[in-house]
Structure 1
């Protein structure tokens, strides 16, 4: 594909030196449900809130004692969850920009958090191979899900209807979980290396996993067909799907972002500009913007033309 013909669909409208310091890579970015606020979690142990229009910092949330691996919004827009290498999850009240509660229970670093707003439930994944489900109303643990081999889980995500949980990690396998029983419900074809990120499309039709093996594996929930997307030259670390479930974005250790057409499974364009790994991607709720967080300590905002 001739890349110089295709990059015009998106343009970088803002680059922010988001987090400062030698160890300040941006591990996670997430848009608020209203689309006006962007949250970022960093190796510098902080979460920052940004005004999307100006990209000026609104607030810095301090409460972790190690790197923040992931941030996630509740659909009410008032609660933010953050998972950290310090083995805890913090819940934040964004009305007062204060910490609601710190959740303990993991015995190793928290690698991923996901919120099922329909049932007011949160899932957290740990590098010891455990997934914990939490009741966000009571701020209490509901149950623990365990893999058979206790290998590191890198990512968890709920389906849009909240009925299914998916996980991916160092066993290379996308795994669906029965939330009621706490047991694995289905495994899909494995990658040849560990999974770094996994998501459902907003319409619930696709499941996408990004892997250290340089590929994205795309599963069509309607037909059961599986496609392998190949374009990155190094590990694929992050994936995001736009609200219309039309385009997928992938970012990797090659410092590039690829935009894909979900229908044709073809690469549309490549977005370049980061100086290090692209750790996290998020589409805005209206699909007009894409945020990318990088190990180079910056956040870039890309606008669809």
Structure 2
């Protein structure tokens, strides 16, 4: 293989990291090569058989290079070089977030196009005209929804809930809610302060659990807590004796960590960032397990699917699903404007953002359910533990609850709305038993709402 002319991420082909041992490489190869044997798929079409043959060739190539010490050293040098170039070049080339190997293989074609239509080309003025027209169309499509032309404005909503069960107050805008030890402690990020916590039976007694003015994103699993910061640092905590103990700090990203989420077994953590990467971490050791690079836009949300084999994440307007074990990436949905938030249940991905629409997209079939546009930007979405309902937080200060099967609106909650029109709901989170919905907002509070009546709804 001429590695310089045809670079392939061999580690991703085997579902491994560059730190993999020879034994891990052999084991991964043996497991994966079985899935490409033609005898296992006797009824394949010629095209599918050809695809399997190409997959087998790549696996054999990976094994032969990575198990040869000299070839692996040469490959690792090239690997580091390509990874260093990936983020900068991806943005310049307008990379769309498909396959990293495909992206690298297209680099020469993109560079050749740039040379052909560069500064000395006679068609340069025409290229600029075309680019200008495309930009105008793109902006129109991004900020104006043609399907809404001629439609009557929806009738004003009447709140169905206005009085919260409990109000947990603090002195700063609250966001990113987490529940420790099955609700024993309620925690949230207080902007420019850090992590604030309350005991459910003492809502008026807010405690500053950890001071950090750069705190942004929060997630909990059992008595473990993870915090992402504006500086790209990832902090791990253990909640013990009603106190947070900092156990590890990692320089995880080069920019703001927009989202942190644990896997369902708590063994892994995914982080996303404005640096256009998503990363998976071993929660016990703090080691980096996998990195998704080559994305052209900041990633605002990333979350494990129910099998923990896939991660759904945002790529501007696209809903992406990444099989982080084998590196496969696919686009399963598209919004009209930037996505900001995601949640998953079973094979469904819940996505929303600046286009004010929530979409439920099935990972396997691609089928989509949608809700009518909400009044303003949707800042957060969350499935209930049963997956039968979901909630949205909106920049208008309201929280809305929907039935997952029908997308029928069940509740309109005046959670953090203000008469001045400046209210904003920032986050929604269900309790582990699904009986309570928590919301946070710009009114410096976290509020709880009773959802017990919806436990019997079908999933």
What's the TM-score once normalised by structure 2's chain length?
0.60
- Aligned counterpart, 1:140: 287
Could you say what secondary structure the match of 2:300 adopts? strand
Could you say what secondary structure the match of 1:207 adopts? strand
- Aligned counterpart, 1:199: 343
Cα displacement string for residues 165-212 of structure 1 (whole angstroms, at most 9, x for unaligned residues): 11114x21111111113x3521122111111110102xx132100111
Give the whole-Å Cα distance in 2 for the aligned partners of 1:63 and 1:11: 31
- Aligned counterpart, 1:189: 333
Which of 264, 272, 275 is the aligned partner of 1:125? 272
Which residues in structure 2 correspond to 1:6-17 (within 5 Å)? 7=160, 12-17=164-169
Q: Tell whether the 8 Å contact from 2:168 to 2:206 is kept in structure 1 after alignment.
A: no
Change (3 A) 1:208 1:278: same
- Decide which moves more: 221-230 or 289-298: 221-230
Structure 1: gaps (5+ residues): none
Cα displacement string for residues 147-167 of structure 1 (whole angstroms, at most 9, x for unaligned residues): 332x11101101122111111
- Aligned counterpart, 2:353: 211
Could you say what secondary structure the match of 1:154 adopts? coil
Could you say what secondary structure the match of 2:164 adopts? strand
- Structure 1 residue 11 displacement after superposition: 5.1
Residue 175 (structure 1) aligned with residue 320 (structure 2): yes
Could you say what secondary structure the match of 1:273 adopts? coil
Give the whole-Å Cα distance in 1 for the aligned partners of 2:411 and 2:206: 32
Larger radius of gyration: 2
Higher RCO (C-alpha 8 Å, min separation 6): 1
Which one has the bigger helix percentage? 2
Which one has the bigger strand percentage? 1
- Structure 1 residue 214 displacement after superposition: 0.7
Cα displacement string for residues 102-138 of structure 1 (whole angstroms, at most 9, x for unaligned residues): 1113111111111114261111111010111111111
- Decide which moves more: 53-62 or 124-133: 53-62
What's the TM-score once normalised by structure 1's chain length?
0.88
Structure 2: gaps (5+ residues): 1-154, 454-459
- Aligned counterpart, 1:101: 248
- Decide which moves more: 130-139 or 54-63: 54-63
Change (3 A) 1:222 1:117: closer
Number of equivalenced pairs? 291
- Structure 1 residue 12 displacement after superposition: 1.3
Q: Tell whether the 8 Å contact from 1:65 to 1:86 is kept in structure 2 after alignment.
A: no
Which of 205, 228, 235 is the aligned partner of 1:90? 235
Give the whole-Å Cα distance in 2 for the aligned partners of 1:247 and 1:45: 33
